[in-house]
Amino acid sequence: MFCRLALLFSLLLIPATNGFAQIPMGEASSAKEGLDIGVSTNEIAIASDFRGADLTVFGAMTNPDELLLAIGSYDIIVTLEGPRDYATVRKKERIFGVWVNTDSMIFEQVPESYSIASTRQLDDPTQLPPINTAGVGIEHLALNPIGYIRDVGELSDFREAYRRLKLAGGLYQKEASGVRFVSSSLFRASLRLPANVPDGVHIVRAYLFKSGTLLTQREIPLRVVKTGLEQAITDTAHNQPFAYGLLCVLIALVTGWGASIVFRKD
Partner 1 sequence: MFCFALSGSTVTIYLPIAELSVNIFIILGMGAAVGFLSGMFGVGGGFLITPLLIFYNIPPVVAVATGANQVVASSVSGAITHFRRGTLDMKLGTVLLVGGLVGATVGVWIFSWLRSIGQLDLFISLLYVVLLTTIGLLMLQESLRAMRKAKLNQPLPLKRPGQHNWVHRLPLKMRFKKSRIYLSAIPVVTLGFLIGILTSIMGVGGGFIMVPAMIYLLRIPTNVVVGTSLFQIIFVTAYTTMVQAATNYSVDIVLAFILMVAGVIGAQYGVRVGQKLRGEQLRALLALLVLAVGIRLAVGLFIRPQDLYSVAVGGIGY
Binding site for partner 1 (CB under 8 A): 46-51, 85-94, 97-101, 104, 106-108, 112, 146, 158, 161-162, 164-166, 168-169, 195-196, 198, 226, 228-230, 233-234, 237-238, 241-242, 244-249, 251-253, 255-260, 263
Q: Which phi-psi region, left, alpha or beta, contains residue 26 (left: φ > 0; alpha: ψ -120 to 50)?
A: left
Strand-by-strand arrangement of the 34-39 sheet: 34-39, 53-62, 186-193, 179-181
Q: How far is the CB of 263 from partner 1 (least distance, A)?
A: 5
Whether 16 contacts 60, CB under 8 Å:
no
Query: With respect to partner 1, which residue has the nearer C-beta, 181 or 244?
Result: 244
Q: How far is the CB of 252 from partner 1 (least distance, A)?
A: 4
Q: How far is the CB of 174 from partner 1 (least distance, A)?
A: 18
Whether 146 contacts 107, CB under 8 Å:
yes
CB burial of 45-62 (b: ≥16 within 10 Å; e: otherwise) equals bbeeebeebebebbbbbb
Q: How far is the CB of 251 from partner 1 (least distance, A)?
A: 6
Query: With respect to partner 1, which residue has the nearer C-beta, 54 or 93?
Result: 93
Count of residues in the chain: 266
Query: With respect to partner 1, which residue has the nearer C-beta, 32 or 264?
Result: 264
Query: With respect to partner 1, which residue has the nearer C-beta, 43 or 160?
Result: 160
Q: How far is the CB of 134 from partner 1 (least distance, A)?
A: 25
Query: With respect to partner 1, which residue has the nearer C-beta, 46 or 69?
Result: 46
Cα dihedral 232, 235, 239, 240 sign: positive
